[in-house]
Amino acid sequence: MLLALNLEICTMQPKHIEIKDYQYHLPEGRIAKYPLVERDLSKLLIYKKGEITETTYRAIGNALQKDTLLIFNNTKVIEARIFFEKPTGGVIEIFCLEPAYHQEVALGMSSTGKVYWNCLVGGISKWKGSVLEKKIQVGESEIVLFAELIEKTEDAYVIAFSWHPADLAFGEVLHAAGLIPLPPYLRRDAEKSDVERYQTVYAKAEGSVAAPTAGLHFTHLLLESLSQKGILQEYVTLHVGAGTFKPVKTEKIGDHTMHSEWIQVQMRTIENIINLRPKDIIPVGTTSLRTLETLYWMGVKALLRPEATIADLEIKQWDVYELEAEGVSVEQSLQALLGWMNDRSLSELVCQTQLLMAPGYRVKIADALITNFHQPGSTLLLLVAALIGDDWKKVYDYALAHDFRFLSYGDGSLLWTNK
């Protein structure tokens, strides 16, 4: 039961973890280049108490108790790739990551006339400082988009976009001018079918450059059947950044910088996590899990410092391994966070998280995780290992030996935590 949890401080620092211990051989042929025709017929590996069984997503309800609470990430993938052709014929690709200068994603997407955006740029050596221009025909109307290089940051470029008609929101401009960004490991260009299939059926809040892929397996019919069984559903938002594909290039995780991502959570969602008294809380996807765990630690901070600002509450990479949280239950933490929000008349929490979950981390809110199979040596694989320990090897060996499809368009798993 949620309210019976009594949580202790994580005593193990994961900074010493060597990435070589979280590698496995993934043959190119096991990477799913395309999704199955029917989303919910993807295979589902179930790991519980050391045992492994198989089913499909369509039958996932059989593995869940009534009054289980599923937490979905309703972020929506944006058409983040824009190609500009120079007058000389050279092509420059601009990959929009997130609003620059710490602007919230929702505000950046709804801005009209002009925005500043952190971007990756392909062909930057060809860009000599001129303002790029792209004309897009939309029915009988024309959108003219301009891109100006403002500055180089540590790992991106700040680009100023402006456009006519200026009353259009930037999200509308991207929809007309850009392409869906597929993960680089698919090694193919986006196709017409990807516009629908690289998007969850419940996607709502625009802002991601990668899909929360565990949710790609769910259909409206499946969600309805789960509701009829008494399985509860709530939604949070974490806008997935390109950092989700960033390989860990350091020997030890302590030398790797975790990417920050924006989250949005409604107050009523936090209240429901407490008041619904679910038998099990299961996030759908690593992004939903990171959001839930971030809420717990923000609540711990609010409990320790009620006067803290939103910037003070944001979770940095190593915060959770250093905060004193012994004896702080989930209910105490979330109630403190709700109190902090009430004091500031906030109905929604909007902030960034840099939470890194690795072996040594004790999961606070989730009882299990629904997730796809991740790349070798990735922070997402470390997260899985934090949930189920060394049995991650057992799970991945089984999946490789039993024809499971890997990565974004592949099959998935239901992993019960070893609390």
> How far apart, in whole angstroms, are the C-alpha atoms of residue 374 and residue 69?
24
Model pTM score: 0.93
Domain total for the chain? 2
Q: Quick one: DSSP state of residue 407?
A: S
Same domain, 92 and 215: no
Give domain status of residue 184, yes or no: no
User: Which of the four pLDDT bands, split at 50, 70 and 90, describes residue 5?
Assistant: very low
Task: Say if residues 294 and 353 touch (Cβ distance below 8 Å).
Answer: yes
pLDDT for the residue 292: 98
Report pLDDT for 226: 98
Question: pLDDT per residue over 337-376, tens digit each?
Answer: 999 999 999 999 999 999 999 999 999 999 999 999 999 9
Q: How does 154-170 read in b/e, with b if 16+ C-beta sit within 10 Å?
A: eebbbbbbbbeeeebbb
Range(s) of the domain holding residue 125:
80-178
Q: Residue 154 pLDDT > 60, yes or no?
A: yes
Between CA 120 and CA 143 the distance in angstroms is: 23
Q: Are residues 211 and 328 in the same domain?
A: yes
CATH number of the domain within which 379 lies? 3.40.1780.10
Residues 56-114 have pLDDT tens digits of 999 999 999 999 999 999 999 999 999 999 888 889 999 999 999 999 999 999 999 99
| One domain for residues 204 and 306 | yes
In a domain, 189, yes or no: no
- 118, 239: one domain: no
The residue among 272, 268, 274, 338 whose CA lies nearest residue 303 is 338
The count of residues in the chain is 419
**What's the one-letter identity of residue 403?**
D
